[in-house]
């Protein structure tokens, strides 16, 4: 049994788009770029974003599924003045 990662990305993005009221800025922290799941989930997110022109991606980087790397990315974006919701 396997998960459908494109659908997972779509579900995540639909939920977030509803919570944002269809507008805002996003930073995407991806998993390991060598894994299909990372690409498929990101693809699912971007498919849904086509229906929400008021939502923009301002950052997108890999943290390789590691919490500390994700925290470092987020800290760096905030320290650089990147604004995201």
Structure confidence at residue 50 (pLDDT): 98
Domains of the chain as residue ranges with CATH: 5-79 (3.40.50.2300)
Three-state secondary-structure class, residue 66: coil
User: How does pLDDT run along the chain (85 residues), one tens digit per residue?
Assistant: 789 999 999 999 999 999 999 999 999 999 999 999 999 999 999 999 999 999 999 999 999 999 999 999 999 999 999 999 9
- How many angstroms separate the CA atoms of 11 and 78, rounded? 26
Could you tell me what percentage of the chain is helix, strand and coil, using 3-state DSSP and rounding each to the nearest 5? 50, 20, 35
Structure confidence at residue 2 (pLDDT): 81
Length of the chain: 85
Structure confidence at residue 70 (pLDDT): 98
């Amino acid at each position: 049994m396997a998960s459908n990662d494109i659908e997972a990305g779509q579900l995540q993005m639909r939920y977030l788009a509803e919570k944002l009221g269809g507008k805002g800025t996003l930073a995407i922290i991806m998993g390991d770029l060598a894994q299909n799941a990372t690409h498929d989930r990101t693809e699912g997110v971007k498919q849904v974003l086509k229906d929400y022109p008021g939502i923009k991606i301002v950052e997108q980087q890999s943290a390789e599924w590691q919490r500390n790397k994700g925290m470092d990315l987020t800290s760096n974006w905030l320290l650089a003045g990147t604004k995201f919701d």
